[in-house]
Homo-oligomer: A and B are copies of this chain.
Amino acid sequence: MADGYNLCIAVIGSGTIGLSFAALHLSHPSKNIKVIIYDPRPDLNEYIESTLPGYLNATSPSLSSLRASNRLVLSSSLVSAVESADVVQEQGPENVSFKQSLWPQIEAAASPSALFWSSTSGIPASIQGANMQAPYRLLIVHPFNPPHIMPVLEIVPPDQHASKAYIDKTVSYWRTLNRNPVILKEEITGFVANRLSFALFREAIHLVNQGVVTAEEVDRIVEESMGPRWAVKGPFWSYHAGGGEKGLSGFLDKIGETVQACWDDAGTPELRDGEDGKEAAWRKALGEQVEGAYGVLQERDLRERDEKTRSVLEITRGD
């Protein structure tokens, strides 16, 4: 509680995820969330002035008004950013030793009741918090990019030290922002959303690599079949529906043989170098194909994608 605001959130790191989360907190319906953005970059002020407005929604106060009312504060000092915070949300470099050295500094400077969240895309809380006094305070809050638009958040507590009270407080806050936190029961590699996405991506790479379809054709197929289907109803619901009265079991009875045949025939491209030390040949060819199809994407392409995504979610969630 600072400056009369209900909650103060220190956002550590101002890359695209940090900016997106900052904008999301500032959009809180209570208008009573203070955000401190910490980043050691020397041009922090100019950088935030030029980038953050792109993330704020249309009804948000202007950046200058947010700053004048201290609802948004920029800081180049980690200690002063976190000492008054109720929540510290980290999105620094994806590097184990960086995070293991950062968290004890945050823990030493922050209030004993502050919540600690990491947006890491892959480093589990139990590893990040190895040097903390109270590692149970640290939770992964993993977004799907960009978090100011995508509702789901994967909450992954450290396997050995989960604290129900910290998880409950975290979940409550996100629900007030109309987000959908899902608590994973295990600290699994890559968490859930990326594992699912990468499984499809792997098969997509294989099919392009085999010459069955182009990368652009894969995108068209997905955009006009699974994408809209799964935006409305996820895979289990959908296959449950596909089985009629017998549900998912009926579906597996009916076309399980085809499913198994596809699994047996699925490709296994590798990203690691081959035994000869060479990069996999498909990487270069695929990169060139995608570059040829789409060119270098511009800011406006991403904005258009984000606007459409927002409209889709209004339909599917009734937002």
Using a CB–CB cutoff of 8 Å, the interface residues on chain A facing chain B are 94, 121-122, 144-145, 150-152, 154, 180, 182, 184-186, 188-190, 192-204, 207-208, 210-213, 215-237, 239-242, 245, 247-249, 252, 255-263, 265-266, 268, 270-272, 283-284, 286-287, 290-291, 293-294, 296-297, 301-302, 305, 308-309, 311-313, 315-317
Contact = CB atoms under 8 A, between A and B. Distances in A.
B194 A210 contact: no
Given A122-B258, A192-B212, A229 B316 contact: no
How many copies are assembled?
A: 2
Contacts of A229: 144, 150, 227, 309
Contacts of A201: 235, 239, 259
Contact of A220 (B180, B248, B262): B180
Contact of A207 (B195, B237, B258, B305): B195
A52 B159 CA distance: 53
Nearest to A248: B290
A308 B316 contact: yes
Contact of A260 (B200, B223, B247, B271): B271
A271 to B, nearest CB: 4
A57 B260 CA distance: 36
Contacts of A208: 236
Given A189-B258, A229-B309, 8 more contacts: A182-B217, A193-B222, A197-B200, A197-B235, A198-B262, A204-B236, A223-B232, A230-B231
Q: Which of A248, A258, A268 has the largest number of chain B CB atoms within 10 A?
A: A258
Contacts of A200: 196-197, 199-200, 226, 235
B144 A248 contact: no
23 contacts: A121-B255, A144-B226, A182-B217, A184-B213, A185-B212, A186-B211, A189-B262, A192-B212, A192-B213, A192-B221, A202-B263, A218-B235, A224-B313, A227-B227, A227-B228, A227-B231, A228-B313, A232-B308, A236-B294, A247-B294, A249-B283, A249-B287, A256-B271
Nearest to A203: B199
Contacts of A255: 94, 121-122
A297 B241 contact: yes
B213 A185 contact: yes
Nearest to A255: B121
B240 A290 contact: yes
Contact of A263 (B248, B268, B305): B268
Given A202-B263, A213-B185, A221-B182, A232 B237 contact: no
Given A268-B263, A315-B311, A240 B151 contact: no
